[in-house]
Amino acid sequence: MASKSNPFAFLQQVRSETSKVTWPSRRETMISTVMVLVMVVFAALFFFAADQLIGWALSFVLNTGN
């Protein structure tokens, strides 16, 4: 079980731990953000195409297509 400490000591520990973090630069953050957005677009296009293909195949098999 964790020992209880006062809020002041807790805040000092938090500040100490956050000073150890290696924060990304603004450039690294922008590059990562753009990469995530590009991958989201690719995933959305892939799943849209897969959904359309499966829908077309299912309607063809069930003879509900034109």
Structure tokens at 12: 């000092």
Please state whether the predicted TM-score (pTM) of the whole model is above 0.85. Answer: no
Q: For 49-58, what is each residue's pLDDT tens digit?
A: 999 999 999 9
Q: Domain locations in the chain?
A: 26-66
The full DSSP string for 43-64 is: HHHHHHHHHHHHHHHHHHHTT-
Q: How many alpha carbons fall within 13 Å on the CB side of residue 42?
A: 6
Q: For 13-33, what is each residue's pLDDT tens digit?
A: 999 999 999 989 999 999 999
